[in-house]
Chain A
Amino acid sequence: MSEQEIEKELSSYLNVYRVSLDTAKRSIVKKHGGNPAGLAVGINRTIRDLVPGEQSVNLLVRIVSVNEKDVTVEGATKRILYGILGDPTASVPFTAWEPLGVTLAKGDVVRVQNAYTKEYRGQVQVSFGVRTTVSKEKPDALPEYKPGPGSGIGRPYVGKPTPVTVADLREGASNVEVTARVLSVETREVEVDGAKKAVYSGVLADGTGKSQFSAWKDFGLKEGEAVKIEGAYVKAWRGIPQLSFDDRATVTRLQPDALPPAEKVSESPRMWIEDLADRGGGVDVTIRGILIDLREGSGLVYRCPECRRVLRKGACRIHGEVKGNADLRVKAVLDDGSGAVTAVFDRELTEALLDKTMDACIAQAKDAMSVDVVRDELADILVAQPIEARGNVTSDDYGLMMIVDQAKLLHVDVQTEAREMLETLEASE
Chain B
Amino acid sequence: MMREVAWRLFAGEYNDATLEVNGGGERAPSYLVTPLGARVNRMFVVGVITDVENVGTEMQPMWRARVQDPTGTFHLYAGQYQPEAAAALSKLQPPVFGAIVGKSRVYSPEAGTTYVSIRPERVKTVDAALRDYWILETCRSLRRRIEAMEEAQRMDPLTKEGLVQLGVKEAIAEGIVQAAGHYGKADLSRYTAMLAEGLRYLLPEFRDGRAPDAAAAEDAASRPPEPVREPEDDSETKVLEIVAALDKDGKGAPWDGILEAAKAKGVGREQLEEAINGLLDKGLLYEPVLGRMKKI
Residues of A in contact with B (beta carbons under 8 Å apart): 273-274, 277-278, 290, 292-293, 333, 335, 337-340, 342, 383-384, 386, 397-399, 410, 412, 414-415, 417-419, 421-422, 425-426, 429
Contact = CB atoms under 8 A, between A and B. Distances in A.
Interface string B194-227: 0110011011100000000000000000000000
22 contacts: A274-B171, A290-B44, A335-B5, A337-B137, A338-B5, A338-B169, A340-B4, A383-B122, A384-B99, A386-B133, A399-B1, A414-B133, A414-B135, A418-B199, A418-B202, A419-B199, A421-B140, A422-B200, A425-B195, A425-B196, A426-B196, A429-B192
Interface string B92-132: 00000001010000000000000000000110101001101
Contacts of A383: 99, 122, 124
B139 interface: yes
Given A340-B2, A398-B2, 7 more contacts: A274-B169, A340-B4, A383-B122, A386-B130, A399-B3, A412-B133, A418-B136
A163 to B, nearest CB: 19
Contacts of B139: 418, 421
B46 interface: yes
B90 interface: no
Size band of the B side of the interface? 35 or more
A397 B3 CA distance: 11
Mostly, the A contact residues are: mixed
A416 B122 CA distance: 30
Interface string B36-48: 0000000010100
B141 interface: yes
A406 B203 CA distance: 32
A426 B199 CA distance: 11
Contact of B199 (A342, A410, A422): A422
A340 B46 CA distance: 18
B133 A415 contact: no
A357 B181 CA distance: 56
Contacts of A421: 139-140, 143, 199
Contacts of A290: 6, 44
A280 B143 CA distance: 26
B122 A292 contact: yes
Nearest to B200: A422
Q: When A and B form their complex, which 4 residue pairs have the shortest distance between CB atoms, in order from nearest? A: A384-B99, A418-B202, A422-B199, A414-B132
B6 A337 contact: yes
Contacts of A399: 1-3
Nearest to A419: B203
A414 B200 CA distance: 11
B81 interface: no
A293 B133 contact: no
A293 B101 contact: yes
A278 B135 CA distance: 27
A418 B142 CA distance: 13
Contact of B196 (A293, A342, A414, A422): A422
Contact of B44 (A292, A342, A417): A292
B183 interface: no
Nearest to A399: B2
A380 to B, nearest CB: 8
Contacts of A414: 129, 132-133, 135-136, 202
Nearest to B126: A384
